[in-house]
């Protein structure tokens, strides 16, 4: 799955109508609703605030996709915006396009192009990342061996996410699910098979 790289805002003008698009990464529907409410409050004089959102993992259940035309002719605003998000396979995102009417009617085709175009331009500006499912693995080593292992981890393709100094030094490493066997082999080669890993559960890592 893909997500937007950052939140953003971009505005285009067509036939004197202004289309201001806001996109934000969200984790649930409540957060998406808060973004929509914030946009409405920031632009109370806009004629429309049209919305499209996709939240959740389509492959794991609990996925929601919604759109709203907010008074524009049915199917001319929220639906084409949602189609843009779907074509790009984006999730955990809400998009709001606010329109200030400029006096010239665009027709159904013109509205579809305007709303989808405003969102497309904004997505191109903020960029996208892939969300890859990883496992967090914990590795505890004595202090006298920690420095060497930390140096090796930082130079490895694996993601060192934390170092905790207690009775031992515990490293938290994020490893892609399809690389788990390779990581354990990598670790065994550097420890003489003495170090064990504890699976701390799934996590998501965002990569280009």
171-175: long-range pairs with CB below 8 Å, 24+ = 171/138, 171/139, 171/140, 171/141, 171/146, 172/136, 172/137, 172/138, 172/200, 173/136, 173/137, 173/138, 173/139, 174/134, 174/135, 174/136, 174/137, 174/203, 174/205, 175/134, 175/135, 175/137
- Are the CB atoms for 125 and 8 separated by under 8 Å? yes
70 membership: H or E segment, kind and range: none
Are residues 120 and 196 located together in one domain of the fold?
Answer: no
Total tally of structural domains belonging to the chain: 2
Which of residues 92, 108, 126 is at a domain's end? 126
Are residues 101 and 145 located together in one domain of the fold?
Answer: no
Are residues 116 and 33 located together in one domain of the fold?
Answer: yes
Are residues 135 and 122 located together in one domain of the fold?
Answer: no
Are residues 67 and 154 located together in one domain of the fold?
Answer: no
Nearest to 50 by CA among 5, 117, 4: 117
Which of residues 126, 155, 173 is at a domain's end? 126
Residue 193: its pLDDT value, please? 67
Give the Cβ contact number of residue 16 at 10 Å: 10
Residue 58: its pLDDT value, please? 76
Mean pLDDT by 10 residues, the chain (208 residues): 96 97 97 98 98 89 93 98 97 98 97 98 97 94 93 95 96 95 93 84 91
Are residues 152 and 100 located together in one domain of the fold?
Answer: no
Structural domain boundaries enclosing 194: 130-207
Tell me, yes or no, if the pTM score tops 0.85: no
Residue 114: its pLDDT value, please? 98
Residue 29: its pLDDT value, please? 96
Are residues 66 and 106 located together in one domain of the fold?
Answer: yes
The residue length of the chain stands at: 208
CA distance readout (Å), 149 to 141, 156, 171, 191, 192: 9, 10, 9, 9, 13
* The dihedral sign for the CA sequence 96, 101, 104, 108: positive
The enclosing domain of 24 has a CATH number of 3.30.230.30
As beta bridge partners, residue 8 has 23
Which of residues 126, 156, 173 is at a domain's end? 126
Are residues 138 and 108 located together in one domain of the fold?
Answer: no
Are residues 30 and 89 located together in one domain of the fold?
Answer: yes
The enclosing domain of 183 has a CATH number of 3.30.70.120
């Amino acid at each position: 799955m893909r997500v937007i790289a950052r939140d953003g805002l971009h505005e285009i003008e067509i036939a004197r109508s202004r289309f201001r698009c806001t996109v934000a990464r969200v984790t649930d529907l409540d957060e998406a609703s808060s973004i929509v409410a914030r946009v409405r409050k920031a632009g109370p004089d806009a004629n429309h605030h049209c919305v499209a959102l996709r939240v959740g993992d389509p492959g794991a259940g609990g996925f929601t996709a919604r759109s709203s035309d907010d008074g524009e002719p049915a199917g001319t605003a929220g639906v084409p915006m949602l189609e843009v998000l779907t074509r790009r396979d984006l999730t955990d995102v809400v998009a709001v396009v606010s329109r200030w009417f400029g006096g010239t009617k665009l027709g159904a085709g013109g509205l579809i192009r305007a709303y989808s175009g405003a969102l497309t331009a904004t997505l191109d500006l903020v960029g996208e990342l892939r969300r890859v499912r990883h496992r967090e693995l914990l590795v505890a080593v004595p202090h006298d061996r920690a420095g060497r292992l930390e140096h090796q981890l930082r130079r490895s393709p694996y993601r060192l996410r934390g170092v905790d100094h207690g009775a031992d030094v515990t490293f938290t490493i994020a490893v892609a699910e399809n690389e788990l066997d390779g990581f354990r082999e990598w670790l065994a080669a550097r420890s003489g098979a003495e170090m064990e890993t504890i699976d701390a559960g799934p996590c998501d890592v965002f990569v280009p």
